[in-house]
Structure 1
């Protein structure tokens, strides 16, 4: 059975702060989530630029950074899309921008509301 995206995110956050985080851990999680929510849109905008005309080395590095950020907060499916971009760029190939950005937008539409809800809980 496939785990939900919310379960993945909650499990990762529990890895970071424990199953019953105290006030300090809750504050840390809140900062982590809010930072992700604030920085990721600009990061995806930059990825869009790179998919449409950047060099593969810069694309690879940027996709790697986005993959790491998504992994850090437990967005495994989103991280997998960034990993595919990273691997393609490593092979000297630029994936189709529209298809790739569409997949990212779909994953973000599923994950960002979860993160916003969890940020409110933190």
Structure 2
């Protein structure tokens, strides 16, 4: 599994340099938060709550973007836009893609810690 498939390596390196000793803490917080977000996405979809789904996808997109997980951020953006337009058909597949991408991201981050 290639880092470049899931992250912007240059941005990630810059973040690691800037954060220095706090990089590991930041990544752990991101992982913990993300693990809590994933089931909430599914729950919002099951409840057909487009507003909640949009807000969750938006915050997950921002957090993922902050750690340079660009592929994951892009999937979250797609879900956010679908929810904004009330297009929940196909959202289940997008959430499955988000979950799969997140697992790859988490694995790579855990290897760095």
Q: Give TM-score scaled by structure 2 length.
A: 0.84
Structure 1 unaligned residues grouped into runs of 5+:
none
Offset, 1:111: 1.2
In structure 2, do the counterparts of structure 1 residues 49 and 7 end up closer, same or farther at CA, with 3 Å as the change threshold? closer
| Deviations 1:70-115, CA, capped at 9 Å, x for gaps | 1111111111111001001111221434312221122123211111
Partners of 2:54 and 2:6 lie apart in 1 by 27
One of 43, 50, 58 as aligned partner of 1:49:
43
Residues 1:65 and 2:59 aligned together: yes
Matched residue SS, 1:4: helix
Runs of 4+ in 1 over 3 A off after TM superposition: none
Counterpart contact for 2:7–2:69, Cα < 8 Å: no
* Corresponding residue number in structure 2 for 1:4: 4
Q: Which runs of 5+ in 2 are unaligned?
A: none
Structure number with greater Rg is 1
